[in-house]
Amino acid sequence: MTTATLPAPAPVPALSRRPSPATAVANSFTLAWRSVLKIKTNPEDLFGLWLQPIMYLVLFTYVFGGAIAGGTHQYLQFSLPGILVLSVVFATLGTGMMLSQDISTGVFDRFRTLPIVRWAPLAGAILGDLVRYLISILVTLGFGYVLGFRVQTSVLAAVTGCLLLMAFAFALCWMSALLGVLAKSAQGVQWWGFLLMFPLVFGSNILTSTKSMPGWLQAFVKVNPVTYLTEAERALFIGGPAATAVERSLLWAVGIFVVFAPLAVAAYRRRT
Amino acid sequence: MEDVTYAIETHGLVKRFGKTTALAGVDLAARTGSVLGLLGPNGAGKTTAVRILATLLRPDGGSATVSGYDVVRDAHQVRQLIGLTGQYASVDEGLSGTNNLIMIGRLLGLTRSDARARAAELLARFELTDAAGRAAKTYSGGMRRRLDLAASLVGRPRVLYLDEPTTGLDPHSRNEVWGMIRRLVADGTTVLLTTQYLEEADQLAHDIAVIDHGTVIATGTPDELKASAGRQVLEVTPASRADLSAVAELLERLIGAAPAVGVESGQVSVQVEGGRALPDIIRAFEDRSIELAEFALRRASLDEVFLALTGHRAEEETAAEAGKGEKAGTARELDRSSR
């Protein structure tokens, strides 16, 4: 074919100068669909997503229940809202791990050669992860009910509780996204994530009352956003004054989002 | 923009990764609708050039345009024209073949049903229909490469970059990919093909740029490159193997260069300058009544040209650098840390 004459070139079609906002939204939703599909088609992922909250519930309720609250039933009422928080906070790590994996396998290179909005892969991953958080919340609540947990407030309050959890997770997953973009590997995300998340989750009132803790730890627990979120969830699911705790949790969520979302986007643009 | 005759053009393209200069001023031009072969050993800068042209890397100097659009300034327009299948551009292993292609169709603005139809069409074309519903991580290397190629064609690109599309494929899959490329070119697609295989460039490319250490060291059609080496090779096969050494002796005396004797092939070959000596040689054989089965003058192969140009063989380094994946990883890290 070396000396063959070339066919007459077709004219170059009219090209768009930049993606429209509608394209941006459509791109993000397509990529969210992708990440939800990956949950569905990856049995291990699905299994973990279901099993983790169940494991937390069973372990914490039966290991600590007797010792801390003198009975598993009372303890379940106390701990379930906290376990909801714990499950969701740990689930946000998945966002960073998936991003890290996408970057290292070259899937993002493919995206970047396409005429799509640059931040769509990031937005899509996070939108898709909201579905994971929802599954995690519903499994915890559902299995909690099987074990004997009962909402003592109202349906409206419980739904508000779930929405608050989603909002907090949405904010926190930008931190995970930042880790995902910066870390060298998915394992790196896991290590850094656990180093950051463990004190947040366990240096709080999730599993016990804070009264028995030493002063310095109480000081940390008092400023820990997870503490406020857990307080708010307890109030919304089993009763008590909710307003202040809800307000502070939301403020924290907004604060985390405002700091980490731009950082994650900036790091993402730099790396890709 | 009306009179664009080159679908791809680069001028003085420079790219550095830390202290390493990957491209030291590369000029390339691919005529619209042609295959430009970018030929060079591993580490010559081929992939870096492709990544710049695919808007994945910013050049440190020089310019690159696709159908007249600058790859840095007009990246969004360029992305509407190109497709990339490479060592790096990849498929989502967790998704099925079908869903991989639907995802890309949707990202390119196709409706759900159009994206589904396009996916089915491409899967059929690449003989992946049977595996369409399986996750891509279960695919063999050849299947994955075909899916990758299909993924880059969803948007019917005007310009297609194929970065070593047949590296690591068995001969059967390689032939399939070659056939695919020929069909695409027949449809008017411009192809930039990087390869370490001289045969591949010879088979597919209209024009070839030979690149080594980040510099283009020769350009031309495969024929021109072969001619530019200036030498031709005379191959003589005597009818009887008993005459082999007699033929070799005679050729050495007449041409003054030591011929290579292929005992297995029964053929004697020797480099000659031009064809002027041929009548004398034929007469000499007649005088000695040595009967010949074959007497042929051929141009130097691209392999020989490459050796003459670079001082080393093209495929030698490939064998030496068998840990290709690892090397690719380092290159990726390099281009990350540099940004």
pLDDT of res. B131: 93
Task: Determine contact, residues A169/A92, Cβ cutoff 8 Å.
Answer: yes
Under-50 pLDDT residues of chain B? 1-4, 316-339
pLDDT at B276 (0 to 100): 75
More confident residue, A222 or B193: B193
What pLDDT does residue B338 have?
39
CATH class of B231-299: alpha beta
Tokens for A239, please give them. Answer: 């009763």
Inter-chain residue contact A16 with B80, CB threshold 8 Å: yes
Classify B332 as helix, strand or coil. Answer: helix
Among the listed residues A71, A15, A186, A96, the one whose alpha carbon sits nearest the alpha carbon of residue B108:
A15
What pLDDT is stored for residue B101 in this prediction? 96
Q: What is the pLDDT of residue B312?
A: 63
Cα separation, B239 vs B338, in Å, equals 63
Q: What is the ipTM of this complex?
A: 0.81
pLDDT of residue A8: 63
**Can you give the three-state secondary structure of B182-225, one letter per residue?**
HHHHHCCCEEEEEECCHHHHHHHCCEEEEEECCEEEEEECHHHH
Q: Which residue reads 């411009």 in tokens?
A: B190
Q: A with B: how many residue pairs have Cβ under 8 Å apart?
A: 119
Strand partners of residue B260? B269
Residues of chain B with CATH 3.30.70.100: 231-299
Q: Is B97 exposed, middle or buried (0-12, 13-18, 19+ CB in 10 A)?
A: buried
Domain with CATH 3.40.50.300 in chain B: 6-221+322-337
Q: Which residues on adjacent β-strands are paired with residue B232?
A: B272, B299
Please report the pLDDT score of residue A9 as a whole number. 61
Q: Is the CB of A113 less than 8 angstroms away from the CB of B84? A: yes
* CB within 8 Å: A1 and B206: yes
Q: What letter represents residue B259's amino acid? A: P
Between B42 and A271, the higher pLDDT residue: B42
d(CA A30, CA A116): 11
Instruction: Give residue-wise pLDDT tens across range A231-253.
Output: 999 999 998 888 899 999 999 99
The verdict on a CB contact (< 8 Å) between B92 and A18 is no
**Do A164 and A233 contact (CB within 8 A), yes or no?**
yes
Contacts of B92 in chain A (CB under 8 A): 34, 38, 107
With a pLDDT cut of 70, the percent of chain A lying above it is: 95
Q: Which of A58, A62, A266, A113 is nearest to A177 (CA)?
A: A266
CA atoms within 13 A on the CB side of B278: 15
**Cβ contact (<8 Å) for B108 and A1?**
no
Interface of A with B in 17-76 (CB under 8 A): 17-19, 23, 26-27, 30-31, 33-34, 37-38, 41-42
Which of A15, A33, A37 lies nearest to residue B80, judging by beta carbons?
A: A15
For residue A169, pLDDT over 90 is answered with yes
d(CA B71, CA B69): 6
Distance CA B288, CA B276 (A): 20
CATH topology of domain B6-221+322-337: Rossmann fold (3.40.50)
Q: Does A188 touch chain B (CB under 8 A)?
A: no
CB interface of B with A, residues 114-153, below 8 Å: 135, 151
B207 touches B7 (CB < 8 A): no
Cβ distance of B91 and A107 shorter than 8 Å: yes
Q: How far is A177 from chain B (nearest CA, A)?
A: 17
Contact B89 A110 (CB under 8 A): yes
**Contact assignment for A1 to B95 by CB distance below 8 Å:** no
Q: Which two tokens stand for residue B294?
A: 């074959």
* Helix (H/G/I), strand (E/B), else coil: B339: coil
Residues of B in contact with A34 (CB under 8 A): 92, 95, 99, 103
Kind and range of the H or E run holding B237 = strand B232-238
**Separation in Å, CA B106 to CA A37, A219, A272, B102, B202:** 14, 51, 22, 6, 37
Asked if B89's CB is within 8 angstroms of A109's CB, the reply is yes
pLDDT at residue A29 greater than cutoff 90: yes
Are B97 and A11 within 8 A, CB to CB?
no
Cα dist. B209→A1, A197, B212, B304 in Å? 17, 53, 10, 16
For A10, nearest residue in chain B (alpha carbons): B188
Is it the case that residue A191 has pLDDT exceeding 70? yes
CA distance B101 to chain A (A): 11
Residue B252's pLDDT is: 87
* pLDDT recorded at residue B153: 94
Residues of A in contact with B90 (CB under 8 A): 105-107, 109-110
pLDDT at position B314: 52
Q: A270 touching B, CB under 8 A?
A: yes
Exposure string over A14-52, b if 16+ CB within 10 A, otherwise e: eeeeebeeebbebbbbbbbbbbbbbbeebeebeeebeeb
Q: Is A12 an interface residue toward B (CB < 8 Å)?
A: yes
Question: Cβ of A113 and B82 within 8 Å?
Answer: yes
- The string of DSSP letters for A42-65 reads -HHHHHHHHHHHHHHHHHHHHHHH
By Cβ distance, the residue of A9, A15, A107 closest to B33 is A9
Round to whole Å and give the CA distance between B295 and A216. Answer: 95
Q: Smallest CA–CA separation between A105 and chain B, in Å?
A: 7
User: Exposed e or buried b for every residue in B270-290, given b needs 16+ CB within 10 A?
Assistant: bbbeeeeeeeebeeebeeeeb
Q: What is the mean pLDDT of residues A71-94?
A: 88
CB contact under 8 A, A113 and B186: no
The chain B residue lying nearest A109, using CA atoms, is B89
User: Could you tell me which chain A residue has the CA closest to the CA of B102?
Assistant: A30
Q: What is residue B230's predicted lDDT score, i.e. its pLDDT? A: 60
What does the angle CA A49 – CA A53 – CA A54 come to, to the nearest 5 degrees?
110
